[in-house]
Structure formats: C-alpha cells, structure tokens
A and B are shown apart, each in its own frame.
Chain A
Amino acid sequence: MSEEKFDAIVDLLAQAEMEVLLIERGDFCGAKNVTGGRLYAHTLEKVIPGFAEEAPVERKVTKERIALMTEKGAVNIEYASGREDDAKSASYTVLRGKFDKWFGDKAEEAGVMMVPGIRVDSCIVEDGKVVGIDAGGEAMYADVVVLADGVNSLLAQQLGLKKELDPSQVAVGCKEVIQLGEDVINQRFNLKSGEGVAMLVAGDPTVGNIGGGLIYTNKDSVSVGIVTTCSDIGRVDVSVPDMLERFKNHPAVEPLIEGGIPLEYSAHLVPEGGFDMIPQLYTDNVLVVGDAAAFVVNLGYTVRGMDYAIESGRLAAETIIRARDLGGDYSAANMSYYQTLLEDSCIFRDMKQYRNFPKLLERHEIFNDVPQIADVLFDKLFRVDGEKPVSLPMFAIDEIAKRTSAQKLLELVMVALDAL
C-alpha cells in the first residue's frame, strides 16, 4: 500500500493491519499544506472521537462574521449562537503545519511507515495497471496507490484521471499568519481564551474580483488572507499579493492586526468548481482523495474542504479493506465501491445540492454592486446631518436601479434560487 501525503485513511488502514507507506513531499506532514483555515470536526470525529482534546487545534469557532467592504467602509454581520456546540457540530481554526504533523504522528503510532522528503514523479504502470510509484528513479511497489497529492495533482493528470485545471475552477489564496498574543486577540475580537472567530469578506479586498478576504483567529496569531478566482486575475490592475496588502490596510482590518509580528506568508490554490469539477475518482489499483478530487464546497459564507478530505480518506480506506477481505483484488471493479460510498456520503450529497453555487459566485454583482449598495444604504440609515431625511425604500430602489436593470436583477435572483 503506498500513498502520497497525509490523510485519514492511513490510521484506518494501519488499524486493519495492512502495510501502509505514507510518502510526503515535504520534510514532515503539513510542510507543504496551507488552509484558510477552519476545520469542521464532524468527519474527523468518526476517525478519532474527541480528537480536539489532544490535537493542536487553535481555537473553537464561536463567532461567525461576514462583511461587505468598500474602499473605506464595511458592513459587518456577526453571529454567535451562544450554544455549546457538541463534538460533531464543532469547528476549529487550525494551522496545517502544526495540525498535520500531529495527524501524521497519529498515523505513525498506528503502524504507518512514514517516508517524508520524497517527491513522487510518476506512477509505475505495467500492463495498463498501476503497480507502484517512481520517486527519482527509485521504485516502490504497492497493491493500491491513493493519490492525496492535492489540488495540483500532477499524478492524477498523468494517469488521465483528471484534466489540467481551468482558471475558472480554481482560486488562488494568499495568507499571512500574524502573531499578536492570546490576550490581544481576545480583546480585539471580543473573545474568551479558546474561543475563535471566523470572518469572511466580500468586496474591496479583491477589488470586486470573484473571491474575498478572510480572517481566522488562531491561539496567539491571526490568519489574514485573500482568495481570488484565477480567471479573474488581470480583470483589475491589482496583483494578487497587492490585494492582500489592500485588505490588511483596510480601515476595518488594520486596527485588528496592528503591531503584530508576521510569522509566515503562504499561497495555495483552492478547487472551487464544485460537483462538475470532480475528476475520475478510481481506476485499477488507484483512488483519488481530498483536494486532488476537488472535494470543496464554497458558499461564500462557509468554505469546506478539509472535512471532505478526511471523509474521502476514510471511505478510500473502507474500499481498500473491503477489497482485501474479498480476496485482494484491487481492480477497478472493486475500487468502484469508493464511488458507491461517496454517492451516499456527505461529500456527494452536499456537492450535488450546491452544484449550481459556483454559477452564483461567478456573478460580479455580488462582489461589486452588493457591497457598494450596502455601503450607501447604511450610510443613509445612520447619517444625521441636519438635511431632510430621504425615504429609505425609495433610495434603495434608486441605488439598485442605478447599478443594474430589472432584467439583470431578475437573472441574479434566478441564479441565486437555482444555487440554493
């Protein structure tokens, strides 16, 4: 059994007393990984119940914040249920460099053989079937190869399971982790120790490009980033790294991170094409999991991927264990069970439900006009300057009419209804 990178799969396979080799490109698990990031716990709970008690999670998310930003203004909505989330409905801010290292150690404890610092160049194909991997001329043979090599899965592309990524299907995120200290974060974000906020922003950070800004509170640092769809790059004359600087210097963001010590600058692609982007997921002796399989749902107000990656690893493990129990036939006929399991899983259920969501988030109105309309409406709502007050509903209709036609608005509403 051979595998690229870390995944939930390795724990389960090792527990089932199968020989598992985990090949990692970086010096340790997580060394090449980046998240926004927030981990929804429900799928990892199935693999390691109560994991958050021992895992290096940063903070439990207790507050949701979304914001619409114009160049200077910001409309914030913050929500805190006040309820104590149970283990299944909890979510945590995480940093993958720390979190994946822990997860990799767990796999090693379970009997997995770790091989870090190795780049897999290709899968070895004999008689039309994958029989192992080639790393710099060194061959390693296995009954099954699980491709967990991420969004840039060159291996899945080489095997013809996946096409080259289309710029409209992926977004680039870049992020800084800025150290502020636990107390400063608690004060600035109105949090208690251990509690965290997840903040997603549309509008100015990407200068109206499809995408947005993000802020997640870690234990003693904050993750501050922007994400923009690759096909929108060049739409405005602002570079991707400048968008991050623009976000960091926004009047609503700058006071939150002021005086912080930057610890790291990272970038990563995010598969955002949804259900229609999912590649071929199995062939003889091969399964594809996680980002390589494009298992991501972006709704604008929630972004999920790591929980699906973990679930897909678990289902891959189940598929392989079943094939072993059926006599060790790992051909496509038995690997297809992975597809069957996925069809019944939260991954396919969610991705099918939100199949049309990427079409809604392709609408530039959401990232341009909506924040601007929100800004002028709130300005009118709160402004007292001695002048005659305007009728707000009429003002709102005027502002919307200025920016769009009735037909376009109707179109947007239809796309939104379709997406939801």
Chain B
Amino acid sequence: MAKKVPVDDKLGYNRFNTDESYAHIEINEDFKDEAEIRKVVLACPAELYKYENGELTFNHEGCLECGTCRVVSGGKVVKTWNHPYGGAGVTYMQG
C-alpha cells in the first residue's frame, strides 16, 4: 500500500483519558492456539494485540472500546472484558 498510516499515529488523533491502574480487558496469556490468536490480532482496530515469537501481548491503552476482541475470541483469548471506569478511556469528540 502506497500510503499506509500506522495505527499508532491514528490513535494519536484521539482524546484518551487513560486509566493506567485498571486494565478493563484481560487476556489469557497461556492460551496458545495460533488460529484463534491470529483472529484477535487481525480484528483489533487499534492493533493492541501483538503476537511475536510465540508470545501474545496486549495493552489496554489506546483501546477504542468496540468489543470486537471479546466477540471474536469467544472467551478463549480474552479472559475478561468490561468498559473502562466512567470518564476513562477514549472520548469521541466527532463520533
């Protein structure tokens, strides 16, 4: 693709009030089914799921709160999913 904008840059457009003390999504790091992991990695619009060298990592900072990872993983990769606390997370000024 000629002009692919990195997702990290796009998250920079947004207004976030990140709650560093509370991860509203928790993943099951022991889950090793690569086919299932691939789906979640491809699904996240914010590219917060990274799979490198057999290790899945996730960071809730930058989450767009869509819920796609929860639905796609069907309880396998994503262990718990909740909304961030009130006022925390992304604030859509456009929406």
Contact pick for B92, options A174, A244, A264, CB 8 Å: A264
Chain B CB within 8 A of A20 CB? no
Contact pick for B4, options A95, A152, A176, A249, CB 8 Å: A249
Chain B residues with Cβ under 8 A from A135's Cβ? 86
Secondary structure at the B interface, as helix, strand, loop or mixed, is loop
Residue interface mask A164-188, B partner, CB < 8 A = 1: 1111001010101100000000000
In the complex with contacts A249-B4, A264-B13, A267-B66, A167-B95 CB distance below 8 A? no
CB <8 Å contact, A97 and B13? no
In chain B, positions 61-95 with a C-beta closer than 8 Å to chain A are 64-68, 70-72, 74-75, 82-87, 89-95
Complex Cα distance A167/B42, Å? 14
Complex Cα distance A246/B4, Å? 8
Chain A CB within 8 A of B23 CB? no
Residues of A in contact with B, size category: 35 or more
In the complex with contacts A117-B86, A119-B84, A267-B64, A31-B71 CB distance below 8 A? no
Number of interface residues of B (CB under 8 A): 44
In chain A, positions 130-157 with a C-beta closer than 8 Å to chain B are 135-136, 151-152, 154
CB <8 Å contact, A240 and B43? yes
Task: Please report A residues at the B interface, Cβ cutoff 8 Å.
Answer: 25-27, 30-35, 95-100, 116-119, 135-136, 151-152, 154, 164-167, 170, 172, 174, 176-177, 221, 230, 233-234, 237-242, 244-246, 249, 262-269
Q: Which 7 A-B pairs have the closest CB atoms?
A: A96-B95, A117-B87, A97-B95, A267-B45, A265-B10, A267-B64, A174-B45
Give 11 pairs: A residue, B residue, CB < 8 Å, sorted on A: A119-B86, A170-B71, A239-B41, A239-B47, A249-B1, A262-B5, A262-B13, A264-B92, A266-B90, A267-B46, A267-B64
